[in-house]
Amino acid sequence: MVKSFVRASIEPMLIVAGIIFISATSGLFKTQSLSFLTYWEELINVIKNLSAPQELVYTNPVSGEERDLFPIILLAFVNSGKIFFLALLLSIISSILMLIIYSSAGKIVKGIMKNVSLVLGALPDIFIISILQIFVIWFYKQSGILLVEVASLGENQLILFPAVVLSILPTFFFLESMISFLKEEIHLSYVDLARSKGLAKYKILFVHMMRNIIISLIYHGKQIGWMMLSNLLILEYLFNVFGVTSFLFTYNEPSIFAVTAILLFLPIYTCLKSLQFYISKKIGKAISL
């Protein structure tokens, strides 16, 4: 128990330390040659600033005006969080609905769904985002009806459209994974036993099989999360959303980068470890996410 607690405590501390060391790497190239002295000075400066984060300021690249990092950084986190979790919810609901259609469809429809999933999975994220934006603009020019805003402006931050776009690839990832897990589960003995008792097809799917499928999906939580975060950066840039990933790369001063990266890492790490604990309890053995 003590060893597990120590290990669990050391891991996030090492990752935070890694973020701090990485954030100071710009100090290596402050002079015309590689200098570890300037790196050390930058590292000390980052650590000093992290000891008083409430005093940190960032410079607006357009106006050149200095502003306090807090609480504006929290607004960026809220915007990104809304898009991320709404997209995750939409992708889960959409993939389950598509799984129902797939389970009751014939071979032709199943083939079409598989091909669409493969094509969308192979396309670059930025291509899909750009196509959807172009379609909205084209539809507006043809009909005079603006389906959705295609970019944020000032305090009017887009949430729904970026979330819908962000949910597309995870939806088909979930669908492919659930179909694969479904094929594995359908041949297990507990499914045969449920059928022999005369249980309906969808009752077997949602009451018995879906529980194991969801656990298998959660096991891939890290992969899904990082995929969505990488797409979120592109989305926030193209939709001009004031979010944490765009903030991270726009205001990339060492101390600002360190604070933003740590604040981004901590909730993700906590979520993954919570899922790890949940799955470990369910399957009765230790796993690592």
Interacting residues of 271 by C-beta distance below 8 A, sequence separation 6+:
221, 225
- Helix, coil or strand: residue 154: coil
pLDDT at 282: 66
Burial-class residue 38 by CB neighbours within 10 Å (0-12, 13-18, 19+): middle
Supply φ then ψ for residue 7, to 5 degrees.
-65, -40
Q: Residue 160 pLDDT more than 80?
A: yes
Q: Just give the CATH number of 73-250.
A: 1.10.3720.10
Return the ∠ at Cα 160 (arms to 237 and 62), rounded to 5°: 30
Q: Give the integer Cα–Cα distance in Å for 68 and 259.
A: 13
24-38, 81-95, 185-199, 225-239: range with lowest mean pLDDT: 185-199
pLDDT at 289: 58
Residue percentage of the chain with pLDDT more than 70: 87
Q: Which residues are 68's β-sheet partners? A: 57
Q: Residue 6 pLDDT more than 80?
A: no
Query: Nearest to residue 88, comparing CAs of 250, 268, 242, 211?
Result: 268
- Helix, coil or strand: residue 57: strand
Q: Give the integer Cα–Cα distance in Å for 289 and 275.
A: 8
Structure confidence at residue 250 as a pLDDT band (50, 70, 90): confident
DSSP, res 58: E
DSSP, res 26: G
Query: Nearest to residue 246, comparing CAs of 75, 90, 89?
Result: 75
Between the two ends of the chain, the Cα-to-Cα distance in Å is 19
Rounded (10°) angle between helices 125-143 and 160-185: 130
Q: Residue 3 pLDDT more than 70?
A: no
Report pTM. Answer: 0.79
75-84, 196-205, 271-280: range with lowest mean pLDDT: 196-205
Q: Give the integer Cα–Cα distance in Å for 69 and 198.
A: 62
- Average pLDDT of the segment spanning 216-231: 77
